[in-house]
């Protein structure tokens, strides 16, 4: 891949189209976590300082090819302007007259933002010709393309993949850094190397487990996915989340790890209750701590227990490389956030590289009050980082490599 740094000496006055990932969480029109916007600042600042005329493409939410004011990028444009210390004008459309006129009116060092690319049906189309037609419209907004939205590089979408076939394409600072950090996890990590996985569904992480079990020294399993592993050990799991179709697969992972001298660390105790009212964000019944092999019928495991917190934290702290993706419990509810908080604290105490794999984990550590620089790297792409670690080819990265070869 070619780096955006290769452009800087000769980009003044040139029009650059950059794909960023500004899919930030909102409460009404208030951004509750601006981490993804801040992650784009290094590349945008370099381009601005070099005198480029920059049009930003980005998405927010899932408007599914329809214009929906709920998913307007207006809050993003405002926040980006505040962070850059300069107004960032927002076009009224994606590739229509407003975007074209705004992009064409830029002077050296100015940045504008097109509306939500997912307002366009062609952006996520499975039909190559429809995506290509939209990409041709994007390409009219600039002479050079920069890919800096790592959170979408695993998608074959018009603003990620197809446009890079039409313009000279470069990787932004963020994309280059993500690849650099994640590649360290799969090639030659400093050992011991521990992978901490959580979240609700074991099926979502099977490919990651399969690939990382080959290179990691320990896998720590929390969240809802832990109960399928506990069931694989023959333990009762009550009403806890269980993917019955994956119990045998998990049993095989346990056997493989044992045979190869690797550790799969599971909860030894769990916090249970009668369930959750997620709409009201309330616990149903009393919260109890029970041994992981004695979850009562009718009870639901919703977080790891105190002994598991110590076990997980000790495993993390004794490592020199740690990758974490997915909370250890229902972290949005204080009663079930203790396990996740214990993992986050332990990560700040690691002597080595710590990588948080985006998504809920990134939001949680910020909500807990940790600064980004207390960790080695916080990935901006949950799904993209997981697919990278699965060993999959990511279309948005592959096309950058193709563009570099074609020059």
For residue 4, what are the CA distances in angstroms to 18, 38, 52? Answer: 10, 17, 12
Q: Is 352 within any annotated ligand binding site?
A: no
- Residues in the chain with pLDDT values less than 50: none
Q: Is the Cβ–Cβ distance between 218 and 241 less than 8 Å?
A: no
- Angstrom distance (rounded) from CA 321 to CA 82: 35
Q: What is the pLDDT of residue 278?
A: 82
The C-alpha angle with vertex 317 and arms to 313 and 320, in degrees rounded to 5, equals: 140
- C-beta of residue 55 within 8 angstroms of C-beta of residue 399: no
Beta-bridge mates of residue 303: 271
Opening angle at CA 152, ends 149 and 156, nearest 5: 125
Alpha-helical (H) ranges within 64-202 are: 74-84, 97-105, 128-139, 173-186
Q: What percent helix, strand, coil does the chain show, rounded to 5?
A: 45, 15, 40
What letters, b where the CB count within 10 A reaches 16 and e where it falls short, cover 333-361? Answer: beebbbbbbbbbbbbeebeebbbbbbbbb
Residue 271 catalytic?
no
Which candidate in 222, 359, 382, 396 is catalytic? 359
What confidence score (pLDDT) does residue 391 get?
A: 87
Active site residue 383: yes
Find out whether 13 is annotated in a ligand binding site: no
Catalytic, 359? Answer yes
CA-CA distance, 121 to 136, in Å (whole number)? 14
Domains in the chain, ordered, with CATH? Answer: 4-178+394-406 (3.40.50.1260), 191-351 (3.40.50.1260)
Do residues 226 and 327 make contact, with C-beta atoms less than 8 angstroms apart? no
Which pLDDT value is given to residue 262? 93
**Active site includes 36?**
yes
| Four-residue CA torsion sign, 320, 332, 225, 274 | positive
- Binding residue per annotation — 271? no
Q: Does the annotation flag 60 for ligand binding?
A: yes
Does residue 26 contact residue 32 with C-beta atoms inside 8 Å?
yes
Report residue 218 as tokens.
């320990």
Q: What is the pTM of this model?
A: 0.89
Active-site option among 78, 165, 201, 310: 201
CA–CA dist 63, 181 (Å, integer): 32
Q: Is 155 annotated as a binding residue?
A: yes
- Is the distance from CB of 231 to CB of 242 less than 8 angstroms? yes
The C-alpha angle with vertex 118 and arms to 39 and 73, in degrees rounded to 5, equals 55
**Is 360 within any annotated ligand binding site?**
yes
Known binder of ligand: residue 359? yes
| 332 assigned to a ligand binding site | yes
Answer yes or no: is 358 a known binding residue.
yes
**Does an H or E element contain 306, and which?**
helix 306-317
Is 81 labeled as ligand-binding?
Answer: no
Q: How many CA atoms lie within 13 A of 209 on its CB side?
A: 29
Asked whether the beta carbons of 139 and 163 are under 8 A apart, the reply is yes
Q: Report the run of H or E that residue 275 belongs to, with start and end.
A: strand 275-277
């Amino acid at each position: 891949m070619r780096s955006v740094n290769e452009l800087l000496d000769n980009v003044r006055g040139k029009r650059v189209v950059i794909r960023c990932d500004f899919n930030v969480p909102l409460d009404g029109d208030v951004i509750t976590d601006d981490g993804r916007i801040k992650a784009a600042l290094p590349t945008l600042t370099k381009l601005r300082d070099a005198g480029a005329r920059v049009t930003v493409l980005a998405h927010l939410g899932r408007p599914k090819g329809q214009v929906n004011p709920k998913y307007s990028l207006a809050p993003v444009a405002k926040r980006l302007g505040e962070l850059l210390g300069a107004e960032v004008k927002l076009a009224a459309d994606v590739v229509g007259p407003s975007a074209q006129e705004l992009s064409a009116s830029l002077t050296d060092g100015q940045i504008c933002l097109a509306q939500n690319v997912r307002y366009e049906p062609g952006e996520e189309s499975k039909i190559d010709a429809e995506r290509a037609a939209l990409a041709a419209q994007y390409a009219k907004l600039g002479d050079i393309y920069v890919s800096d939205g790592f959170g979408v590089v695993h998608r074959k979408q018009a603003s990620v993949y197809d446009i890079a076939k039409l313009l000279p394409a470069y990787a932004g600072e963020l994309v280059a850094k993500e690849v650099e950090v994640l590649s360290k996890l799969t090639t030659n990590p400093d050992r011991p190397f521990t992978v901490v996985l959580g979240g609700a569904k074991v099926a979502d992480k099977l490919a990651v487990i399969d690939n990382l079990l080959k290179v990691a020294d320990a896998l720590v399993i929390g969240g809802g996915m832990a109960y399928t592993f506990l069931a694989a050990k023959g333990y009762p799991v009550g009403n806890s989340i269980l993917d019955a179709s994956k119990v045998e697969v998990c049993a095989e992972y346990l056997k493989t790890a044992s045979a190869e001298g690797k550790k799969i660390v599971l909860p030894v105790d769990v916090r249970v209750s009668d369930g959750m009212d997620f709409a009201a964000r309330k616990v149903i019944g009393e919260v109890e701590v029970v041994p992981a092999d004695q979850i009562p019928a009718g009870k639901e495991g919703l977080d790891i227990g105190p002994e598991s917190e110590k076990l997980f934290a000790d495993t993390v702290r004794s490592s020199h490389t740690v990758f974490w993706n997915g909370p250890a419990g229902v972290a949005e509810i204080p009663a079930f956030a203790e396990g996740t908080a214990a993992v986050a604290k332990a990560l700040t105490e690691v002597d080595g590289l710590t990588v948080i794999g985006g998504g809920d984990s990134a939001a949680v550590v910020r909500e807990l009050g940790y600064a980004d620089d207390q960790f080695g790297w916080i990935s901006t792409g949950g799904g993209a980082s997981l697919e990278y670690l699965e060993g999959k080819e990511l279309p948005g990265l592959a096309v950058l490599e193709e563009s570099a070869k074609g020059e």
